[in-house]
């Protein structure tokens, strides 16, 4: 259980700095994935359970008698309860002696869904015991979401493979225009390249031409796919990772035009989105050089204001970026002042995407890069698209 020891140690570090008295993780039938992040794969927990972690790095479990044996492999002390009344009594014992704030997976007003995993009734129960509950949002990402060296290396390999694959996909389009290649055909080709590189992906990719590219998550199928041909704009969004717990996702979006030159309106929107992307990255880099902590919403505003000033604000319909990990949309900070107002801090060891987009009725534009937050500053881990890919028929 070396990973558990590391999580407890990191949680203790954070709680001491934040002056928290404890971290109380509640779960019932998998509703809160944080328990799995901390303890690992403890299976078949059928009743409500609590895990209390203290600033001393000590953890104790409160679980129903029928589930108590499930935690034997963790090496933790388990306090067993029998019924509802006993649960409340044992929870009071578990929390006794805590006079300061206790962090839970709670977000005031549900503002951050990724950090809001505890139901209202359980919050009422804990508070009824005289406990001050605060959000665990930053504690959770500090203790469980920062990448290991192995995850960073795996991500970098996946990023390199995706950079090759997206260019190969555009060449595949050019080589197959005469045979009636479709969006779905290109998506299948990309999946074949994943297999060649030893990568996996839960879904996708997005291959979207013209109006289809105006749908940020267009999913090409044999039934809805358009045939590709000269004069079309083609957006490709692809994400994948290596298998295993050390596999961290890479996620990129590029755009191309079949023929030349790129239409002036398309070029204008491309230049605007790239400017917003680069400004967001520059903001993160400058803040680091000044020793200033940055919250996710701040980075979103930098890019969004550029797009709004150009008159395209209503067409930038999603957050600027999301966290990356073993899941492509991971549980750490997002770059978001639009869908939510993400006040979590961009911590060293985390990774995010930067992907501003403009989605118009006749075409959509997005440019996406990945950024790892290293100890010495933000590092772009993927290729940065500077020019529209020009696809020529072979």
Q: Hey, where are the domains in the chain? A: 2-144, 149-391
Residue showing tokens 């060293």: 348
d(CA 291, CA 340): 25
Q: Where are the beta strands (DSSP E) in the chain?
A: 22-27, 49-53, 59-64, 77-81, 102-104, 133-135, 206-209, 233-240, 250-258, 351-354, 357-359, 364-366, 369-374, 377-380, 389-391
Residue 263 DSSP symbol: P
Same fold: 2-144 with 149-391:
no
Whether the Cβ atoms of residue 50 and residue 67 lie closer than 8 Å to each other: no
Residue-level pLDDT at 391 = 98
Sign of CA dihedral 11, 16, 19, 24: positive
d(CA 217, CA 317): 12
Q: What is the pLDDT of residues 3-28, one digit of tens each?
A: 899 999 999 999 999 999 999 999 99
Sign of CA dihedral 329, 330, 331, 332: negative
Q: Which two tokens stand for residue 53?
A: 């972690």
Q: What is the CB neighbour count within 10 angstroms for residue 130? A: 11
d(CA 53, CA 77): 12
Residue-level pLDDT at 2 = 47
* Phi/psi at 38 (5° precision): -80, -50
Residue showing tokens 């790129």: 262
**If DSSP codes are grouped into helix, strand and coil, which group holds residue 22?**
strand
- Tell which CATH architecture fits domain 2-144: 3-Layer(aba) Sandwich (3.40)
Average pLDDT score over the chain: 96
Residue by residue, pLDDT tens for the chain (394 residues) are 348 999 999 999 999 999 999 999 999 999 999 999 999 889 889 999 999 999 999 999 999 999 999 999 899 999 999 999 999 999 999 999 899 999 999 999 999 999 999 999 999 999 999 999 999 999 999 999 999 999 999 999 999 999 999 999 999 999 999 999 999 999 999 999 999 999 999 899 999 999 999 999 999 999 999 999 999 999 999 999 999 989 999 999 999 999 999 999 999 999 999 999 999 999 999 999 999 999 999 999 999 999 999 999 999 999 999 999 999 999 999 999 999 999 999 999 999 999 999 999 999 999 999 999 999 999 999 999 999 999 998 8
Residues with Cβ within 8 Å of 287's Cβ and at least 6 positions away in sequence, in order, are 293, 294
**If DSSP codes are grouped into helix, strand and coil, which group holds residue 103?**
strand
d(CA 37, CA 52): 14
Q: What is the pLDDT of residues 301-355, one digit of tens each?
A: 999 999 999 999 999 999 999 999 999 999 999 999 999 999 999 999 999 999 9
Residue 241 DSSP symbol: B
Radius of gyration of the chain (CA): 24
Residue-level pLDDT at 393 = 86
Q: Which two tokens stand for residue 142?
A: 């500090």
Residue showing tokens 């966290």: 323
Distances (CA, A) of 116 to 25, 50, 104, 137, 341: 12, 16, 9, 8, 13
Distances (CA, A) of 1 to 61, 74, 223, 385: 16, 7, 48, 42
> Which residues, listed in sequence order, are joined to residue 358 by a DSSP beta bridge?
365
pTM for the full predicted model: 0.95
Distances (CA, A) of 26 to 53, 65, 66, 343, 371: 12, 16, 17, 22, 32
Burial code of 152-178, b = ≥16 C-beta within 10 A, e = fewer? bebbbbbbebbbebbeebbebbbebbe
Give ∠ CA 188-387-215 in degrees, rounded to 5.
50
CATH number of 149-391: 3.90.230.10
Residue-level pLDDT at 1 = 37
Residue-level pLDDT at 341 = 96
Residue-level pLDDT at 41 = 86
Q: What is the pLDDT of residues 225-257, one digit of tens each?
A: 999 999 999 999 999 999 998 999 999 999 999
d(CA 18, CA 139): 9
Q: Which two tokens stand for residue 289?
A: 């050089």
């Amino acid at each position: 259980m070396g990973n558990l020891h590391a999580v407890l140690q990191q949680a203790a570090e954070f709680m001491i700095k934040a002056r928290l008295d404890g971290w109380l993780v509640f779960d019932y039938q998998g509703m809160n994935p944080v328990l799995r992040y901390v303890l690992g794969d403890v299976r078949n927990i059928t009743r409500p359970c609590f895990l209390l972690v203290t600033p001393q790095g000590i953890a104790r479990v409160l679980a129903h008698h029928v589930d108590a044996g499930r935690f034997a492999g963790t090496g933790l002390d388990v306090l067993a309860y029998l019924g509802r009344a006993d649960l409340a009594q044992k929870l009071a014992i578990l929390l006794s002696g805590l006079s300061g704030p206790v962090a839970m997976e709670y977000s005031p007003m549900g503002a951050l869904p990724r950090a809001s995993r505890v139901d209202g009734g359980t919050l009422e129960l804990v508070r009824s015991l005289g406990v001050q509950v605060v959000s665990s949002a930053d504690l959770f990402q500090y203790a469980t979401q920062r990448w290991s060296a192995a995850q960073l290396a795996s991500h970098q390999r996946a990023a390199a493979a995706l950079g090759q694959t997206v260019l190969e996909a555009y060449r595949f389009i050019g080589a197959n225009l005469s045979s009636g290649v479709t969006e779905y055909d290109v998506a299948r080709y990309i999946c074949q390249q994943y297999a060649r590189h030893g990568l996996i992906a839960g879904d996708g990719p997005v291959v979207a031409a013209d109006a289809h590219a105006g749908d940020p998550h267009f999913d090409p199928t044999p039934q809805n796919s358009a045939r590709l041909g000269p004069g079309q704009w083609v957006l490709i969004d692809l994400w994948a990772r290596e298998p295993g717990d050390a596999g961290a996702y890479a996620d990129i979006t590029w755009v191309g035009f079949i023929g030349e030159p790129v239409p002036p309106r398309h070029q204008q929107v491309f230049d605007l989105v790239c400017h917003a992307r680069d400004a967001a990255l520059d903001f993160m880099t400058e803040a680091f050089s000044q020793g200033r902590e940055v919250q996710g919403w701040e980075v979103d505003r930098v890019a969004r204001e550029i797009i709004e000033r150009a008159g395209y604000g209503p067409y930038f319909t999603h957050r600027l970026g999301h966290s990356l990990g073993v899941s492509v949309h991971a549980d750490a900070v997002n770059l978001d002042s639009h869908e939510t107002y993400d006040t979590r801090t961009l911590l060293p060891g985390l990774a995010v995407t930067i992907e501003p987009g403009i989605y118009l009725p006749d075409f959509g534009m997005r440019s996406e890069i990945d950024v790892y937050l290293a100890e010495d500053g933000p590092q772009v881990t993927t290729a940065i698209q500077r020019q529209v890919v020009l696809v020529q028929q072979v």
